[in-house]
Chain A
């Protein structure tokens, strides 16, 4: 039985070992090839001199062998076949050239769906999990409009910005999306994104460095971000705090000379601290899908477009209250303070503004919605 297993089965098993890191996997596969690397790890073949120091580490080899005993290549391969997961090894012809050229390319990737869509133009959309409603809506619209414009949207399927961007792609009828995830390709995380996850696989492709069944360990996420950055031609940060996973992806993108664009936000918005910082550091601001298309060289029509806002224009008084927001998410106290009106007047105005989509109320907070958070029609001039 062991004879009949393809090299991919061994590669998959190696990628799933405890204590395996991208660098260690790269070392093993580069010097031995998957099948031989497996027997080297299990002590049945002699290691290459370059590999020997790694295998001399007692704790590493113990973890390799104990986890390898439970996850035999035959079992891992069986799960790959059952979940319809393609195992792509670096150097093989089906491994995407785009990724192979990267200096930190993963040695093995697991793919569900159709990777050929990577031939389109590609843009990564990333951002914080704890996003504002406005941030999520903008991500949704960017996802939807970019895919409509023929751009593959690459994201991480996380909560918040990532999920909203991909939902935008799925709800539209444009180019399908690509997801890069940190768990096994059949382990949806977070679990409430399971449906979106399935839709991405059905329409586009989902890439992971980890074999089916791998749980989403925290240390997998930063490594995932480098793949996301490597696949993108331009990286758009919709919202990010000063620290966090998105900022890691930004660093990975800058290392690779990939264009980083960011959505500017109010200084009161903690979720815009990171993006404002990136812009201060020289990234181009994104207020609209056109900004991304211009960055990708797909459009030069930045000017001369009129946007049709379908929302009923608020009365003069309501407009004054909407303007009092000045783009910040506020609670009622702050609005009453800024608008200097009575509580009842403000409450009624907010009710009307919300009904017409100018603001979103959530848990006592009110977020103003700019025109770029709408699914809008465009008027050519």
Chain B
């Protein structure tokens, strides 16, 4: 007897539909599984057997052959346990084949027959296509955002059997607290002082510019970075779904409602490996931190402490907005459209104020060398942050709230998108003259800056993009004025040159 059960597996952050074909026929009792299964798939034989026996059925004393189609795709994960068990029961004649038409199965089995949640439920269910998914009870929120079809959930294999074999109704779905609001990101009004750094965050949020915060420990670099997500406009439904799919595929716990509605904030540790940062992995390709921060903020605290290889790995995703991972058998593209915020000390001791540093010259140079290079160039905004004084911390009322700033950001973004060239941070160089025309005084200021030998040509383009964003935020949607350029210049500190002796 033959059975074909619809299921799916995940590569990168994309689900692939799979058909689990089971043949139970004459021959010596045995079990073989073909179709490029990984170790977890191959082990499923033992789990499925125990689960079927625990559910009160006998294991067919025949030759069982399982094929995972299409045969050229590598299969991974434990989500194929449930379809495999269903396939065997259908092929053995326990479940009538017509009962599984129009259904797709995703779930891991326990030895006692319980159905467990799987990693990547969102992309898996989405890949099932036009069938009603049958999933573990805990995967219901994920399944419901991934499909418009009716979602069925079972707690055990036995429960599934009563439905498919005995024509019982599907068990009721668990209640999901759809209304539970996830905690909003921390508010910008908590930040005391630091008008300049706040401005940088506003510009970064509006124009999609990457930010580097340079300052001593305790200056509030992390505090500032965390508040950037709140300034970003809420995710559109498509963005929300895209990010949720990636989080699900990576096995990150999703919020109660299943859907990620706020821009994510990811802050990987300095010891993170390249694979953890950009994605990859040996058995199957898992999204990295840069993809988990998709449509949100990737924060690298103490950037100079990251391995240079890891930082180099970020260059391609930052340029293209996606991560591309190629293997001999497969090539995977995972979205990675992030606003990068990095924080660093100006030198090992962190005392940036002139005359305050106690580092040895060689140590300072070594530290700066790790920071410099092509990645540093990607930061449109490079801002010095000073440790606020006690008076600032105690006396000043908080500045504008996240909501006030976000209102300006939203208007500026709308204006950018109306132009049709995307956000300012992604403007093509060829478009600059059309989109960001300079007033004469502004052009003069840039020329003077170039002649002083302080800026490179590429740096100049970045300054023009930032100046465009500043103008948009101030409501000047046509020309870029000299003030906008001056502000953009002041937001792009040359940390390479800092701390070098200049006299005579």
Name A residues whose Cβ lies closer than 8 Å to a Cβ of B.
128-137, 139-140, 159-160, 163-164, 167-168, 171, 190, 239, 241, 265, 268-272, 329-334, 336-337, 342-348, 350-351, 355, 360, 362-365, 367
CB neighbours of A343 from chain B (8 A)? 195-196, 199, 487, 490
Contact with A along B492-504 (1 / 0, CB 8 A): 0111011111111
Please tell me if the beta carbons of A133 and B503 are within 8 angstroms of each other in the complex.
yes
Q: Does B103 lie at the interface of the complex (its beta carbon under 8 Å from any beta carbon of A)?
A: no
The distance in angstroms between the C-alpha atoms of A363 and B502, with both chains bound, is 12
Please tell me if the beta carbons of A347 and B489 are within 8 angstroms of each other in the complex.
yes
Contact with A along B213-245 (1 / 0, CB 8 A): 010000000000000000000000000000000
Contact partner of B214 (CB less than 8 A), chosen from A132, A133, A160, A364, is A364
6 cross-chain CB contacts under 8 A: A139-B503, A140-B504, A330-B386, A332-B384, A333-B194, A364-B352
Please tell me if the beta carbons of B356 and A271 are within 8 angstroms of each other in the complex.
yes
Q: Would you give the shortest CB distance from A156 to chain B, in whole angstroms? A: 15
Contact partner of B358 (CB less than 8 A), chosen from A132, A136, A241, A347, is A241
CB neighbours of B353 from chain A (8 A)? 268-270, 329, 331, 365
Given A362-B499, A363-B346: A329 in contact with B354 (beta carbons within 8 A): yes
Q: Would you give the shortest CB distance from B136 to chain A, in whole angstroms? A: 52
The distance in angstroms between the C-alpha atoms of A168 and B215, with both chains bound, is 33
The distance in angstroms between the C-alpha atoms of A164 and B502, with both chains bound, is 10
Please tell me if the beta carbons of A364 and B495 are within 8 angstroms of each other in the complex.
yes
The distance in angstroms between the C-alpha atoms of A332 and B494, with both chains bound, is 13
**CB-nearest residue of chain B relative to A134?**
B354
CB neighbours of A159 from chain B (8 A)? 361, 501
Contact partner of B486 (CB less than 8 A), chosen from A241, A269, A347, is A347
The distance in angstroms between the C-alpha atoms of A345 and B499, with both chains bound, is 26
Contact partner of A332 (CB less than 8 A), chosen from B196, B357, B448, B503, is B196
CB neighbours of A332 from chain B (8 A)? 196, 383-384, 490
Please tell me if the beta carbons of B358 and A333 are within 8 angstroms of each other in the complex.
no
The distance in angstroms between the C-alpha atoms of A346 and B357, with both chains bound, is 26
Given A332-B384, A332-B490, A333-B194: A136 in contact with B501 (beta carbons within 8 A): yes
Please tell me if the beta carbons of B193 and A365 are within 8 angstroms of each other in the complex.
no
Please tell me if the beta carbons of A171 and B486 are within 8 angstroms of each other in the complex.
no
The distance in angstroms between the C-alpha atoms of A274 and B156, with both chains bound, is 75
Q: Would you give the shortest CB distance from A232 to chain B, in whole angstroms? A: 22
Q: Would you give the shortest CB distance from A177 to chain B, in whole angstroms? A: 14
CB neighbours of A140 from chain B (8 A)? 503-504
Q: Does B445 lie at the interface of the complex (its beta carbon under 8 Å from any beta carbon of A)?
A: yes
Please tell me if the beta carbons of A351 and B445 are within 8 angstroms of each other in the complex.
yes
CB neighbours of B448 from chain A (8 A)? 355
**CB-nearest residue of chain A relative to B214?**
A364
CB neighbours of B495 from chain A (8 A)? 363-364
The distance in angstroms between the C-alpha atoms of A336 and B487, with both chains bound, is 12
Please tell me if the beta carbons of A362 and B490 are within 8 angstroms of each other in the complex.
no
Please tell me if the beta carbons of B358 and A130 are within 8 angstroms of each other in the complex.
yes
Please tell me if the beta carbons of A337 and B392 are within 8 angstroms of each other in the complex.
yes
Q: Does B359 lie at the interface of the complex (its beta carbon under 8 Å from any beta carbon of A)?
A: yes
Please tell me if the beta carbons of A367 and B504 are within 8 angstroms of each other in the complex.
no
Please tell me if the beta carbons of B361 and A363 are within 8 angstroms of each other in the complex.
no
The distance in angstroms between the C-alpha atoms of A215 and B341, with both chains bound, is 44
The distance in angstroms between the C-alpha atoms of A347 and B466, with both chains bound, is 14
Please tell me if the beta carbons of A131 and B355 are within 8 angstroms of each other in the complex.
yes
CB neighbours of B504 from chain A (8 A)? 140, 164, 167-168, 171
Please tell me if the beta carbons of A364 and B383 are within 8 angstroms of each other in the complex.
yes
| 3 A-B pairs with least C-beta separation | A363-B498, A271-B355, A364-B384
CB neighbours of B482 from chain A (8 A)? 348
Given A332-B196, A348-B483, A367-B354: A164 in contact with B503 (beta carbons within 8 A): yes
Please tell me if the beta carbons of A269 and B355 are within 8 angstroms of each other in the complex.
yes
The distance in angstroms between the C-alpha atoms of A167 and B504, with both chains bound, is 7
Q: Would you give the shortest CB distance from B352 to chain A, in whole angstroms? A: 7
Question: How many B residues touch the partner, as a band?
Answer: 35 or more
**CB-nearest residue of chain A relative to B353?**
A329
Contact partner of A362 (CB less than 8 A), chosen from B199, B351, B498, is B498
Please tell me if the beta carbons of B195 and A351 are within 8 angstroms of each other in the complex.
no
CB neighbours of B487 from chain A (8 A)? 343-344, 347
CB neighbours of B385 from chain A (8 A)? 331, 333
**CB-nearest residue of chain B relative to A240?**
B355
The distance in angstroms between the C-alpha atoms of A32 and B490, with both chains bound, is 68
The distance in angstroms between the C-alpha atoms of A355 and B504, with both chains bound, is 17
Q: Does B197 lie at the interface of the complex (its beta carbon under 8 Å from any beta carbon of A)?
A: yes
Q: Does B49 lie at the interface of the complex (its beta carbon under 8 Å from any beta carbon of A)?
A: no
The distance in angstroms between the C-alpha atoms of A362 and B214, with both chains bound, is 13
Interface residue ranges of B344-392 to A (CB < 8 Å): 346, 351-359, 361, 382-386, 392
Please tell me if the beta carbons of B489 and A167 are within 8 angstroms of each other in the complex.
no
CB neighbours of A344 from chain B (8 A)? 470, 483-484, 486-487
The distance in angstroms between the C-alpha atoms of A363 and B359, with both chains bound, is 16
**CB-nearest residue of chain A relative to B384?**
A364
**CB-nearest residue of chain B relative to A335?**
B196
Please tell me if the beta carbons of B351 and A270 are within 8 angstroms of each other in the complex.
yes
CB neighbours of B499 from chain A (8 A)? 362-363
B354, B382, B385: residue with the most chain A Cβ atoms closer than 10 Å: B354
CB neighbours of A363 from chain B (8 A)? 214, 346, 352, 384, 493-495, 497-499
Q: Would you give the shortest CB distance from A17 to chain B, in whole angstroms? A: 28
CB neighbours of A351 from chain B (8 A)? 445, 486, 489
Q: Would you give the shortest CB distance from B54 to chain A, in whole angstroms? A: 65
- Beyond A136-B501, A331-B384, A362-B497, 12 extra complex contacts between A and B, CB < 8 Å: A136-B502, A160-B501, A265-B355, A271-B354, A334-B386, A342-B483, A344-B470, A344-B483, A348-B483, A351-B445, A364-B214, A365-B498
B193, B499, B501: residue with the most chain A Cβ atoms closer than 10 Å: B501
Contact partner of B196 (CB less than 8 A), chosen from A129, A160, A241, A336, is A336
The distance in angstroms between the C-alpha atoms of A99 and B429, with both chains bound, is 68
Contact with A along B189-221 (1 / 0, CB 8 A): 000011111010000000000000010000000
CB neighbours of A362 from chain B (8 A)? 354, 497-500, 502
The distance in angstroms between the C-alpha atoms of A128 and B361, with both chains bound, is 13
Contact partner of A333 (CB less than 8 A), chosen from B196, B470, B494, B503, is B196
CB neighbours of A139 from chain B (8 A)? 503
Interface residue ranges of B376-419 to A (CB < 8 Å): 382-386, 392
Given A337-B193, A351-B445: A133 in contact with B502 (beta carbons within 8 A): yes
Please tell me if the beta carbons of B384 and A365 are within 8 angstroms of each other in the complex.
yes
A131, A190, A343: residue with the most chain B Cβ atoms closer than 10 Å: A343
The distance in angstroms between the C-alpha atoms of A333 and B174, with both chains bound, is 53
The distance in angstroms between the C-alpha atoms of A346 and B196, with both chains bound, is 11
The distance in angstroms between the C-alpha atoms of A244 and B238, with both chains bound, is 60
CB neighbours of B352 from chain A (8 A)? 331, 363-365
CB neighbours of B445 from chain A (8 A)? 351
CB neighbours of B196 from chain A (8 A)? 331-333, 336, 343
The distance in angstroms between the C-alpha atoms of A367 and B470, with both chains bound, is 26
